[in-house]
Chain A
Amino acid sequence: AQKVTQAQTEISVVEKEDVTLDCVYETRDTTYYLFWYKQPPSGELVFLIRRNSFDEQNEISGRYSWNFQKSTSSFNFTITASQVVDSAVYFCALTPTGKLIFGQGTTLQVKP
């Protein structure tokens, strides 16, 4: 069975704090892809990152960083020095077959 779990339903931080969003996945496939998408209050889904199962290198993009650990089936997302504009719902997703399986999302509120 394929499944993505985002255990944190809501997180609230004060601007400039660092915050980590957790994502744990389940799959029996050896080849798969993991994604993070952002859904701001306007409603669109914005692609953030794609990672394949053979590439465990961590990635940093500006204030965003991702930690992929196959040993724990986790693909966590950290925002450094959060800003109010980071307030959104963040979705982790898995695809072994092309069909994206989404987690339930984590609502991040960054207060000024």
Chain B
Amino acid sequence: DAGVIQSPRHEVTEMGQEVTLRCKPISGHNSLFWYRQTMMRGLELLIYFNNNVPIDDSGMPEDRFSAKMPNASFSTLKIQPSEPRDSAVYFCASGRNRWETQYFGPGTRLLVL
């Protein structure tokens, strides 16, 4: 079975531009999570969905960040406008439900200049 798929794998953009990260969870998984990894803050949850519904978005840094899950096989994380401090690795993970093991995608390495 295919694992969690993320695109793009690398993104370099300039401050002020819109960035959209994409995720396809493992088929049959009902929970989807977006994490961010930085040297300063480590791995932190941004938002998670259960059955396509956002459950906890308390980790979303500010209004510049938004996430959607229009169907069970696709989610996006959008940053508009992007800032240099958004530079990080963004991971998407999915699980059968929120209690089960979360399997991570390869991550998107974002650099905002």
Contacts and interface: CB of A to CB of B under 8 A. Distances in A.
A44 B48 CA distance: 19
B42 to A, nearest CB: 5
Nearest to A49: B101
Contact of A99 (B48, B104, B106): B48
A47 B99 CA distance: 14
Interface residues of A, number: 20
Contacts of B31: 98
Contact of B48 (A43, A98, A105): A98
Interface residues of B, number: 26
A45 B33 contact: no
Interface in B56-92: 56, 59, 89, 91
Q: Which of B43, B50, B101, B106 has the most CB of A within 10 A?
A: B43
A90 interface: no
Contacts of B19: none
A10 B55 CA distance: 35
Contact of A98 (B89, B99, B103, B109): B99
B89 A35 contact: no
Contacts of A47: 101-104
A35 B102 CA distance: 10
A112 B71 CA distance: 48
Contacts of B97: 98
Contacts of B100: 50
Interface of B: 31, 33, 35, 42-45, 48, 50, 55-56, 59, 89, 91, 93, 97-104, 106-107, 109
